[in-house]
Chain A
Amino acid sequence: MNPPVATTFFFYLLAAIMLIGGVFVITRKNAVHSALALIATLLAQAGIYLMLYAPFVAGVQIILYAGGIMVLFLFVIMLISIERSLKERMLNRQWVVGGLAALALGALFISVYVKGKNLFPTPKVPVFETNNTQTVGNLLYGQYMFPFEIASLLLLVAIIGAVVMAKKRI
């Protein structure tokens, strides 16, 4: 059974969009450009989720990340002044040390890859299309009921915290 050829093409296309968008996020001076590049990265990642047979997570990614969180980011960028930050330098003083630390982390990842790339045998069982959303819902409201409630509590605390932080006088 040969895998379809289009899978390879779409994987590399989406991966290229993700990585180029990620590079733009951390190299653009204007924060609005960074936010737009991050939106492209998130949408490409939703496509990758679709390739992994996770349509519910892909939908949540588009609605919540690209639709919710990024609108919040753009809203805050509009609130703070970006003209001043365009004239200042982009990197902080310890950027050399930070880059070296990230490089060391990358070297660690590469060594892990070289050592452990044979740890994953090729799966033999063909994966059938299952009713994905139904299964995720059953897990969320069944086995993961308690973490689900904790997540709702976390969101409540986040709402209160954001209001308390951003409000001028309580």
Chain B
Amino acid sequence: MDALTHISILHYIVLAAALFILGVVGVLTRRNVVVILMSIELILNAVNLNLVAFSRYWQAMHGPPALHGQVFAIFVITDAAAEAAVGLGILIAFFRNKETVNMDEVNLMKW
């Protein structure tokens, strides 16, 4: 009972793992490129949740404020913004050429 009522770091890790799995399922099974990019955002958010939870755990274990995990989470958010901008730019360019947003019709460079 104590494991359910007292929120420890394991709860956050399990939540992040579940979110990561959801993102992986989305990337591997969907056809729409927009949804695949959103699933990648889910994966990055799961990693962010882990980073912030471990930052909190480090503070609780060692006392003084050490917020390196939160700084890394901010860097990951920056990367996610760059990835979304470039990915959606590529998507618009592809849609202009092929009139589709389906992943399995991206075969211009395949022979």
Q: A residues engaging B (CB < 8 A)?
A: 3, 7-8, 11, 15, 18-19, 22-23, 25-26, 31, 34-35, 38, 41-42, 45, 48-49, 52-54, 56-57, 60-61, 64-65, 68-69, 72-73, 76-77, 79-80, 84-85, 88-95, 97-99, 101-102, 105-106, 109, 113, 117, 120, 122-127, 130, 132, 135-136, 139-140, 144, 147, 151, 154-155, 157-159, 161-166, 168
A29: nearest chain-B partner, CB-CB? B32
When distances are taken between beta carbons in the complex, the residues of chain B under 8 Å from A61 are: 48, 77
When distances are taken between beta carbons in the complex, the residues of chain A under 8 Å from B25 are: 26, 98-99, 102
Main SS class of interface, B: helix
Q: Are B81's CB and A69's CB within 8 A?
A: yes
Taking A123-B57, A165-B86, A168-B96 as given, write out 10 further A-B residue pairs in contact, using a Cβ cutoff of 8 Å, ordered by the A residue number: A26-B35, A60-B74, A65-B45, A88-B102, A98-B25, A102-B28, A109-B21, A125-B60, A125-B63, A165-B90
Given contacts A154-B79, A161-B86, contact A101 B28 (CB under 8 A): yes
Q: Are A125's CB and B7's CB within 8 A?
A: no
Q: Are A154's CB and B78's CB within 8 A?
A: yes
Given contacts A7-B7, A105-B24, A158-B85, contact A53 B56 (CB under 8 A): yes
Residues of chain B at interface, number, CB under 8 A = 77
Q: Are B102's CB and A85's CB within 8 A?
A: yes
When distances are taken between beta carbons in the complex, the residues of chain B under 8 Å from A93 are: 104
**Could you list 5 examples of A-B contacts with CB < 8 Å?**
A35-B34, A54-B52, A65-B41, A77-B34, A92-B104
Q: Are B82's CB and A158's CB within 8 A?
A: yes
Q: Are B34's CB and A54's CB within 8 A?
A: no
When distances are taken between beta carbons in the complex, the residues of chain B under 8 Å from A48 are: 12, 15, 49
When distances are taken between beta carbons in the complex, the residues of chain A under 8 Å from B12 are: 48, 52
A-B interface pairs (CB < 8 A), number = 233
Q: CA A7 – CA B14 in complex, angstroms?
A: 17
Q: B residues engaging A (CB < 8 A)?
A: 5-15, 17-26, 28-32, 34-35, 37-39, 41-42, 45, 48-49, 52-53, 55-57, 59-63, 65, 67-68, 70-71, 73-75, 77-86, 88-93, 95-96, 100-104
Q: Are A64's CB and B81's CB within 8 A?
A: yes
Q: Are B88's CB and A92's CB within 8 A?
A: no
Q: Are A85's CB and B101's CB within 8 A?
A: yes
When the two chains form the complex, which single residue of B6, B20, B95, B102 contacts A3, counting CB atoms closer than 8 Å? B6
Most chain B CB atoms below 10 A, which of A69, A89, A99: A69
Q: Are A72's CB and B88's CB within 8 A?
A: yes
Q: Are B21's CB and A45's CB within 8 A?
A: no
When distances are taken between beta carbons in the complex, the residues of chain B under 8 Å from A97 are: 28
Q: Are A122's CB and B74's CB within 8 A?
A: no
